[in-house]
Chains A and B, each alone.
Chain A
Amino acid sequence: MRGSLFRKNLVTTLLLAPAALWLVIFLVLPFIAIAIFSVGERAPEGGYQAALTFAQYANLPARATAFWNTMVLAPIGALACLLVAYPVAYYLALRAPERWRLILLAMIVIPFWTSLLMRTYAWMYILGGRGIPALLAYVGIQDLRLINTPGAVLLGIVYGYLPLMILPIYVSLERLDRRLLEASADLGATPLSTFLGVTLRLSLPGVMTGFSLVMILLLGEYLIPTLLGGGKVFFIGNALVDLFLQSRNWPFGSAIAITLVLVSVVVLIVANRISTRLSGARRVDLI
């Protein structure tokens, strides 16, 4: 029975094998390993020692600050991204002259060709002591601190993740049937009601896609808090790096990692539900 099924689907199997193998080796196996680590103990010299205990999970509150920072700054960051991205996507999709559209889209994507590390370093200098604060000192505003603040981290997040938010929203707005906007106006809706009742509503799948994409990436963010938060604004990602590489407490790091994955899955499921419900006919599957 199994053999005949295998023969029947031989081609499919062969086509899917590389991807499946890749996923098993680099996602499923490490995940299982992490799950096992998370119920173990730290070996005296660091690393992992077999055990079956939930002590690591019970100890999660020890990293409450990192969780708190992540859980507050990730949604705020994603929201800030959204607020900046929506008008841009709206302009691109509905207002920009046709011939400019491609050029403007390219201008949004091109910075992505430089590494995020370089671009974040640049911000470090712009916000640092010799950057904007130095300029402001010339006009008499002294002792302004920008770098190593939550604000700097937020700025870095919006800057780094903006294209990921703009593109899905742009796509959903671009697909919007313009006659629906005319129909809405024809039926007496003011431009604001049309925007809220038709444009925004029908672009929600794009909004939810962008929001969950940015949100998920932010939950594991490490670079931006390190460079622009200067260790003072501490994310889960930073906690993980510390635990695995510095204090070599693999079981505790694993417990945090598993919790992070669970939170991400919950975020995705909630986003997907909201998106499906609000967009009506169109079903959007994120997972």
Chain B
Amino acid sequence: MTAVPDIEFRAVTKRYGAVTAVSGIDLAIPPSAFVALLGPSGCGKTTCLRMIGGFEQPSEGQVLIRGRDMAGTPPYRRPVNMVFQQYALFPHLDVEENISYGLRQARPRLSSREIGQRAGEALSMVQLAGYGRRKIHELSGGQQQRVALARALVNKPAVLLLDEPLAALDKKLRTDMQIELQNLQREIGITFVLVTHDQEEALSMSDFVCVMNGGRIVQLGQPSEIYDEPADLFVADFVGKTNLLSGKVAGLSGDLVDVALADGTVISARKRVPLSRGEAVSVSLRPESLGLSAPGGGSLKGIVRNRIFLGSTAEYAIEVPGIGPLLAKADHVIGQGNLFKPGEPVAIGFAAGAPLAFPNANNNGTNQREDQNAEILS
């Protein structure tokens, strides 16, 4: 890549006293990209965003914006703008005054006509034309969100930072805003950096997802890569739903390993990191990669415990003796009423290449995954 990255982290570490929030991160965000920093709370994603904004200084390393080292540059001199969590709109100013706040700070001063015109454009851009004189507390959550967006974008920043911007909205509004944000980013063509703990949000909106855990970047890639080829057990578990089956490596052949599961069944799985014979591993199997059929075929046998019919799909919680509960997801085709019923025995199959084997070390995700399953089964 020849273009200068919009944002670059070079060996950035951030410590708060004895706590290391971010440790040794290297990251380059290309121009005009929509990037999501995704991870559980406390993974360091917000700290990274705040270091770009200038609200935190790295303890070590450098943060560069468009090739310029930002060390010692205060927030008000950085060419980035942020949409804050819960928006942080000024309660004493009306909508238009909020939006033109940044323009009024510009030196040399902008003419009041230009300020008015740009604020008006920003209002229309977020579909709030005519709301300029409203007070902030008179707006709904979704409208406040739009004002926060307009207030940041009106300054034409090099990069827009978004700190959990959709967290406070209800589900319907969130989906609308996801589409709107995506459209805005394409229209304006500047880089958006989004911080979120919601994997669905990260996958659906961004061009690149940067998965973080424990202050480090675990994986950087396109959403489909992250989902299909998770770098480790944590990513496999955190991004999307998955089944994790524990077993031991029974044989190795190229990219494939044979894994002996707890009940003795041996399945073939792909590996992402070197594994050795006899090593304890977890095999990740996405629910949608499992195919259910009447008893007889398949690799595993189980009994349907619960069925959650979701319209276009149906989810099954299946008890597999000796292995435990598995989650399977099947497309539902209208008219083909082949739904399995609770209590029914089923055979479970999967395409070759679907199972991914990971070493068991550092499997921070396992507990979360158990919670997930418990939720489905309850």
Contacts and interface: CB of A to CB of B under 8 A. Distances in A.
A137 interface: no
Interface string B99-112: 00110011000000
Contacts of A184: 90, 101
A188 B102 contact: yes
A271 to B, nearest CB: 18
Given A188-B155, A189-B76, A198 B82 contact: no
* Interface secondary structure of A, over-half rule: helix
B105 A193 contact: yes
A280 interface: yes
Given A179-B84, A182-B55, A280-B135, A187 B91 contact: no
A281 B91 contact: yes
B182 interface: no
A259 to B, nearest CB: 36
A218 B101 CA distance: 39
B76 A188 contact: yes
B284 to A, nearest CB: 39
A185 B74 CA distance: 8
A186 interface: yes
Given A183-B84, A187-B151, A187-B155, A280 B106 contact: no
Contacts of B191: none
Interface residues on A, range: 20 to 34
Interface in A164-210: 177, 179-180, 182-191, 193, 197-198, 201-202
Interface residues of B, number: 29
Contacts of B53: 182, 186
Nearest to A187: B102
A281 B136 contact: yes
Contacts of B80: 186
Contacts of A182: 53, 55, 75, 82, 84, 88
A186 B135 contact: no
28 contacts: A179-B86, A179-B88, A182-B53, A182-B84, A183-B89, A183-B90, A184-B90, A184-B101, A185-B54, A185-B76, A186-B53, A186-B76, A186-B81, A186-B152, A187-B76, A187-B151, A187-B152, A188-B76, A188-B77, A188-B106, A189-B101, A202-B91, A202-B92, A280-B91, A280-B92, A281-B91, A281-B135, A281-B136
Given A182-B82, A190-B76, A278-B92, 10 more contacts: A179-B84, A183-B84, A185-B54, A186-B84, A187-B101, A187-B151, A188-B76, A189-B101, A281-B136, A281-B137
Interface of B: 53-55, 74-77, 80-82, 84-86, 88-93, 101-102, 105-106, 135-137, 151-152, 155
